[in-house]
Amino acid sequence: MSNQPLLRLADLTKSFGGVMAVNRVSFDVDSGSIVGLIGPNGAGKTTVFNLITGNYRPDKGEILFDGQSIATMRTHRIVSLGIARTFQTIRLFPNMSALENVLAGCHCRMRSGVIGSMLRLPWQKREERQALETAVAELSFVGLRQQLDQVARNLSYGNQRLLEIARALATRPRFLILDEPAGGMNDYETQVLVDLILQIRDRGITVLLIEHDMNLVMKICDNLVVLEYGILIAQGTPEEIRTDQRVIDAYLGAPDADGDEDF
Partner 1 sequence: MQLFFEQLTNGLAVGGIYALIALGYTMVYGVLKLINFAHGDLFTIGAYLGLTLLVSMGLTSHLGPLAGILVLTIMVMGLVAVIGALLERVAYRPLRTSPRLSAVVSALGASIFFQNAIMLIYGARFRVYPHDILPVTSITLFGVQIPVMRILLFTASIVMMAGLYFFVQRTRTGTAIRAAAIDQGAAKLMGIDVNRVIMYVFLIGPALGGAAGMMVGLYYGQINFTMGWVYGLKAFTAAILGGIGNIPGAMLGGLLLGVIEALGATYISLAWKDAISFLVLILILIFRPTGILGERVADKV
Closest distance to partner 1 from the beta carbon of 210 (Å): 16
Is the separation of the CB atoms in 36 and 235 below 8 Å?
Answer: no
Q: Which stretch binds partner 1 (CB under 8 A): 15-23, 100-108, 135-143, 216-224?
A: 100-108
114 touches partner 1 by CB under 8 A = yes
d(CA 151, CA 139): 14
DSSP string for the chain: -TTS-SEEEEEEEEEETTEEEEEEEEEEE-TT-EEEEE-STTSSHHHHHHHHTTSS--SEEEEEETTEE-TT--HHHHHHHTEEE--SS----TTSBHHHHHHHHHGGG----HHHHHHT-HHHHHHHHHHHHHHHHHHHHTT-GGGTTSBGGGS-HHHHHHHHHHHHHTT--SEEEEESTTTT--HHHHHHHHHHHHHHHHTT-EEEEE-S-HHHHHHH-SEEEEEETTEEEEEE-HHHHHT-HHHIIIIISS---S-PPP-
84 touches partner 1 by CB under 8 A = yes
Choosing from 91, 125, 129, 246, the residue that interacts with partner 1 (CB under 8 A) is 91
Q: Which stretch binds partner 1 (CB under 8 A): 11-19, 80-88, 154-162, 202-210?
A: 80-88
Question: Hey, what amino acid is at 99?
Answer: L
Choosing from 163, 168, 182, 227, the residue that interacts with partner 1 (CB under 8 A) is 168
Closest distance to partner 1 from the beta carbon of 29 (Å): 18
d(CA 207, CA 220): 10
Q: Which of residues 14-53 bind partner 1 (CB under 8 A)?
A: 53
Choosing from 100, 222, 261, 262, the residue that interacts with partner 1 (CB under 8 A) is 100
Choosing from 117, 137, 192, 236, the residue that interacts with partner 1 (CB under 8 A) is 117
Closest distance to partner 1 from the beta carbon of 167 (Å): 7
- Tell how strand 83-85 and strand 19-29 pair up: unpaired
> Quick one: 35 or 92, whose CB is closer to partner 1?
92
Q: Sketch the per residue contact string, 170 through 189, with partner 1: x for CB under 8 A, - otherwise.
A: -x------------------
Choosing from 85, 135, 182, 228, the residue that interacts with partner 1 (CB under 8 A) is 85
Closest distance to partner 1 from the beta carbon of 257 (Å): 29
* Cross-strand partners of 260: none
Choosing from 41, 97, 112, 150, the residue that interacts with partner 1 (CB under 8 A) is 112
Binding residues (CB under 8 A) for partner 1: these are: 53-55, 74-76, 79-80, 84-85, 87, 91-96, 100, 103-105, 107-110, 112-114, 117-118, 128, 131, 167-168, 171
